[in-house]
Amino acid sequence: MPKIRLDKLVKRYGSLEVIHGIDLTTEDNEFTVLVGPSGCGKSTTLRMIAGLETVSGGEIYIDERPVSKLEPKDRDIAMVFQDYALYPHMNVAKNMSFALRLEKRPRKEIQHKVGEVAEMLGLEKLLDRKPAELSGGQRQRVAMGRALTRDASTFLFDEPLSNLDAKLRGQMRAELALMSQQVQKSMVYVTHDQVEAMTLGQRIVVMQDGHIRQQGTAEELFKRPNSRFVAGFIGSPPMNFLDGQITRRGDVAFIEGEGFKLSLPVELAQRALKHPRDTVALGVRPSDLVPAEAGSSDALLLKVLVSEYIGAQSILLTECGPHKVSVEMNSSAPVALGQPLHCSVQKDGMHLFDSETGLSI
Amino acid sequence: MNGRRLTPYLFMAPAAFILGVALLYPIAYMIYASFLDWNPSQRIGQAEFVGLRNYTWLLGDASFRESLGVTLKFAFFVVSLEMLIGVGLALLLDRSIRGMTALRTIFILPMMIAPIVVGLIWRYMYHPTVGIFNKTLNAIGVESVPWLSDSFWALTSIIIADVWQWTPFIFILSLAALQSLPRSALEAARIDGATGWQQIWHIKLPLMMPVLIVTCLLRLIDAFKVLEVVLVMTNGGPGLSTEILSLRISRTASEFRELGVAAAMSNYLLLMLMLLTVLMFVYSRVSEARAARIRQAAEES
């Protein structure tokens, strides 16, 4: 049974439309991540699901029940906010039990529930503290604890890790992944960080300018991006793009641009030749570029500008004609700055995008 | 080096001098005067020194005690009503409705009118025959109310006028406090299932409390010193029913020509106000200390 279903959801502020009729269906107990650059409408969408923003058009279904007219409290949801949104005047235990206390649940039950969640999140020793007496990571945990204590069927997360420093963020991300396996709830998670999206999401929804551009698993989005935007947004370091033309010599199709000429694999060539336009962009991930023989004809000739050592791998920033190209390479390979480097593209590593629509070919 | 260390004091000297002359000298003068049996026709040097007699006499004086009672009653009722209405209005108007800016401006107008004018306006409105209240009451067939001529109604009337004038003060301060509350905490409360009342009771009011306490103390200090509105509206009457302390002090000095007693009375009032000020000071020190302790705990964790 689909858990959350957005049906042509629209949000307008006055005459300005920010969400343009999006459709989305998530499965029961699925971890869905809405990801996109700032201003893409991901937070607005989440806040509409939560009931904190009104819906201007379309409908939201939770368990096939239309909820867009319901108050947040009647939607059976819990939410974790970016700034944690803890109640500053209540201690940790009171923060976590607020919803249960409003429901006038028996004191025993509340204590039990709070104790259980506190143990799971390692908050037992902090129950008497006020939020101001906690560190950022602890506040984050309390915010999650508050959501967990409620026992709602759906969890919403609005960029919950973005106020933490890099190290803590990685740690909390892992804890969150673990927690989502343990509690088995439907979760909708908003982030602008594609690494968070890739590592946490079972279903990743890429948004841009109030539209859903693509959704799927991390692997689907990484291997088969449907547009130049998704290709450039997912993956780190980002995909390289080289503008060129499709040309044909005999049975072989080539992509040819300033400073490079590569033959296309058969399947891609067929699609490219059927495509009405022949000005395209070639997309290649830095990890799909591999060193080739010096004399190799079917390779990019790159000039190495900078080498960024990041451990086992190094990122080379190189130049290919007017294009900047980054290459991910084993750090043990000898590379000299300013020297030419021949790189061929791995099988399935080529992506072509229409130069006008940006859609995948 | 030495000269340099003195420079700041040199800069402060004019202000310190003015402060001394304008503030401390009159207070010292008043304290000294309160120990004298002093008639305005005498020079201060000719007045007889009577020690604490003025103070002890006042404690036994029924009129002073009644005046003190009126003042306490007045302060208690106006501040409670103003807090209730001011905070209530702020909670109601803390939202974006068309025309809200204009509405807010209108709400704070009474505060900007000179107290004498406020007194005059209300005296006309309370007028037994041509005042708008009695005319309206008569028009709907209700008997006239003796607004300013009955001791119960007179006190009620000045309380109403003061509430009208000073509720906006509490309104704007609580509105500012409300609007600086963390929005996301309120959203979290909505998701946690808090109704409008529960949000007010469990989130908004507790978070506004520091501002409300200071506002309340400020208003209390002001209410003890009220003079003009009452002077214009009732001049303390009928009988002594609205004779608040500051009015009693002024009458003791000018009508009864007892400068020493008036000074002693002023000192009693001053003591009360000092008590309130000290309370406010202690409150802010305590909350500062608590904030510092919390910060320290957060850094250690």
Question: In Å, how far is B184's CA from the nearest CA of chain A?
Answer: 5
> Which CATH number does the domain A2-233 belong to among 3.40.50.300, 1.10.150.120, 3.10.300.10, 3.40.50.740?
3.40.50.300
Question: In Å, how far is A99's CA from the nearest CA of chain B?
Answer: 5
Q: What is the pLDDT of residue A2?
A: 59
Is the CB of A73 less than 8 angstroms away from the CB of B194? yes
What is the distance between the alpha carbons of residues A218 and A196, in angstroms, rounded to a whole number? 11
By residue count, chain A amounts to 361
Is the CB of A132 less than 8 angstroms away from the CB of B202? no
CATH number of A240-354: 2.40.50.140
Taking contacts as CB-CB distances below 8 angstroms, the residues of chain B near A82 are 184
Task: Provide ipTM, 2 decimals.
Answer: 0.81
**Partner A contacted by B210 (CB < 8 A):** no
Taking contacts as CB-CB distances below 8 angstroms, the residues of chain B near A77 are 191
What is the distance between the alpha carbons of residues B195 and B197, in angstroms, rounded to a whole number? 5
Enumerate the CATH 2.40.50.140 domain ranges in chain A, comma separated: 240-354
Is the CB of B188 less than 8 angstroms away from the CB of A88? no
- Over the Cα atoms of chain A, what is R_g? 25
* CB proximity list for A145: less than 8 A, separation 6 or greater: A92, A95, A96, A117, A118, A121, A123
**Partner B contacted by A150 (CB < 8 A):** yes
What are the pLDDT digits (tens) for A214-243? 999 999 999 999 999 999 999 888 999 999
Picking from A71, A85, A130, the nearest residue to B182 by CB comes out as: A85
Picking from B193, B206, B301, the nearest residue to A73 by CB comes out as: B193
Cβ count within 10 A of residue A255: 24
What is the distance between the alpha carbons of residues A22 and A63, in angstroms, rounded to a whole number? 18
Picking from A102, A134, A146, the nearest residue to B194 by CB comes out as: A102
- Closest alpha carbon within chain A to B182: A85
Taking contacts as CB-CB distances below 8 angstroms, the residues of chain B near A146 are 188, 192
The set of long-range contacts for A23-27, using a CB threshold of 8 Å and a minimum separation of 24, is A23/A212, A24/A205, A24/A212, A24/A215, A26/A2, A26/A186, A26/A188, A26/A203, A27/A2, A27/A3, A27/A203
**Partner A contacted by B193 (CB < 8 A):** yes
Cβ atoms A257, A244 nearer than 8 A: yes
Taking contacts as CB-CB distances below 8 angstroms, the residues of chain B near A78 are 191
A84: three-class secondary structure by DSSP:
coil
Give the residue from B301, B203, B207, B189 showing the smallest Cα distance to A136: B301
**Partner A contacted by B92 (CB < 8 A):** no
Q: What is the pLDDT of residue B3?
A: 64
Enumerate the CATH 3.40.50.300 domain ranges in chain A, comma separated: 2-233
> Distance from CA of residue A75 to its chain's centroid?
25
What is the distance between the alpha carbons of residues A314 and A334, in angstroms, rounded to a whole number? 11
Sheet holding A186-191, edge to edge: A77-80, A154-158, A186-191, A31-35, A203-208, A211-216
Q: How far is CA A97 from CA A131, A147, A149, A257, in A?
A: 14, 10, 7, 63
Q: What is the pLDDT of residue A189?
A: 93
Q: What is the pLDDT of residue B115?
A: 87
- Closest alpha carbon within chain B to A151: B192
What are the pLDDT digits (tens) for A139-165? 988 998 999 888 888 899 999 888 888
What are the pLDDT digits (tens) for A87-140? 999 999 999 999 999 989 999 999 999 998 998 888 888 888 888 888 888 898
- Phi and psi based region of residue A27 (left: phi greater than 0; alpha: psi -120 to 50; beta: remaining): beta
Amino acid letter, residue B13: A
Is the CB of A134 less than 8 angstroms away from the CB of B189? no
Q: What is the pLDDT of residue B287?
A: 82
Q: Which residue has the higher pLDDT, B65 or A347?
A: B65
Taking contacts as CB-CB distances below 8 angstroms, the residues of chain B near A154 are none
Count of CB contacts below 8 A, A vs B? 76
Taking contacts as CB-CB distances below 8 angstroms, the residues of chain A near B192 are 73, 98-99, 102, 146, 150
- Closest alpha carbon within chain B to A158: B184
Q: What is the pLDDT of residue B301?
A: 58
**Partner B contacted by A49 (CB < 8 A):** no
Q: What is the pLDDT of residue A94?
A: 92
Cβ atoms A204, A215 nearer than 8 A: yes
Above 60 in pLDDT, residue A273?
yes
Q: What are phi and psi of B147, to 5 degrees?
A: -50, -50
Taking contacts as CB-CB distances below 8 angstroms, the residues of chain B near A79 are 187-188, 191
Above 90 in pLDDT, residue A46?
yes
Taking contacts as CB-CB distances below 8 angstroms, the residues of chain A near B209 are 89
Q: What is the dihedral angle through the alpha carbons of B255, B260, B266, B268, rounded to the nearest 10 degrees?
A: -130
**What DSSP line would sit under A125-174, residue for residue?**
GGTT--GGGS-HHHHHHHHHHHHHHHT-SEEEEESTTTTS-HHHHHHHHH
Q: Which helix (H) or strand (E) holds A189?
A: strand A186-191
**Partner A contacted by B206 (CB < 8 A):** yes
Q: What is the pLDDT of residue B81?
A: 96
Interface probe for A, chosen from B181, B191, B203 (most Cβ of A below 10 Å), is B191
Q: Domains plus CATH for chain B? A: 20-300 (1.10.3720.10)
- Closest alpha carbon within chain A to B294: A133
**H helix runs in chain B, sequence order:** 2-19, 25-33, 53-60, 62-93, 100-112, 115-125, 132-139, 151-179, 183-191, 196-199, 205-224, 228-233, 245-254, 259-300
A344: three-class secondary structure by DSSP:
strand
Q: How far is CA A189 from CA A34, A45, A172, A198, in A?
A: 6, 11, 14, 12
Tokens of A137: 């990571």
Tell me the pLDDT of chain A averaged across its residues: 88
Q: What is the mean pLDDT of residues A184-212?
A: 90
Interface probe for A, chosen from B180, B186, B187, B192 (most Cβ of A below 10 Å), is B192
**Partner B contacted by A99 (CB < 8 A):** yes
Q: What is the pLDDT of residue A142?
A: 92
**Partner A contacted by B184 (CB < 8 A):** yes
Q: What is the pLDDT of residue A309?
A: 86
- Over the Cα atoms of chain B, what is R_g? 24
pLDDT tens track of chain B, all 301 residues?
A: 566 788 888 999 999 999 989 988 888 888 888 888 888 787 877 878 888 888 888 888 888 888 889 999 999 999 999 999 999 999 988 887 777 788 878 888 888 888 899 989 998 998 888 888 888 888 888 888 888 888 888 899 999 999 999 999 999 899 989 988 888 899 999 999 888 899 999 999 999 988 998 899 889 988 988 888 888 888 877 877 888 888 888 888 888 888 888 888 898 898 888 988 898 888 888 888 887 887 777 666 5
What is the distance between the alpha carbons of residues A340 and B129, in angstroms, rounded to a whole number? 104
What is the distance between the alpha carbons of residues B174 and B211, in angstroms, rounded to a whole number? 7
Is the CB of A99 less than 8 angstroms away from the CB of B193? yes
**Partner A contacted by B192 (CB < 8 A):** yes
